Structure 1
Amino acid sequence: MFGLGIVGLAIYAYTIYDVVSSNFGGQNDKIVWVLVVIFLPFLGTILWFLIGKKATL
């Protein structure tokens, strides 16, 4: 079970890195996405990969 926690933490950290390093919108958009991911870790990660990442392409 400990291994799943490590994997979850890695995905969470990668999501925050991906939001910060993406080129889209302005600084405010990045701040909003980072806050969504921080305050809603599971849901925020899913939303970023389903909605946010598509907006950056």
Structure 2
Amino acid sequence: MDKELTKYELRRRGITLADLARDLGCDRSLISKVISGEGTSRRVSEAIARALATEADR
């Protein structure tokens, strides 16, 4: 997952980290860590991919 591209695309689509966290029932910091590569979560990666209509990195 490309950090800058992901952040750009989320902003462009009006999706916040809080939106994703609320939808997943997790903390916003987990979303941030997954995007930045500091954390891993298949569920979060797939949710971000769905939000951006792309495939999650394997």
What is the TM-score of this pair, normalised by structure 2?
A: 0.40
Look at both structures and tell me which one has the larger radius of gyration over its CA atoms: 1
What is the TM-score of this pair, normalised by structure 1?
A: 0.40
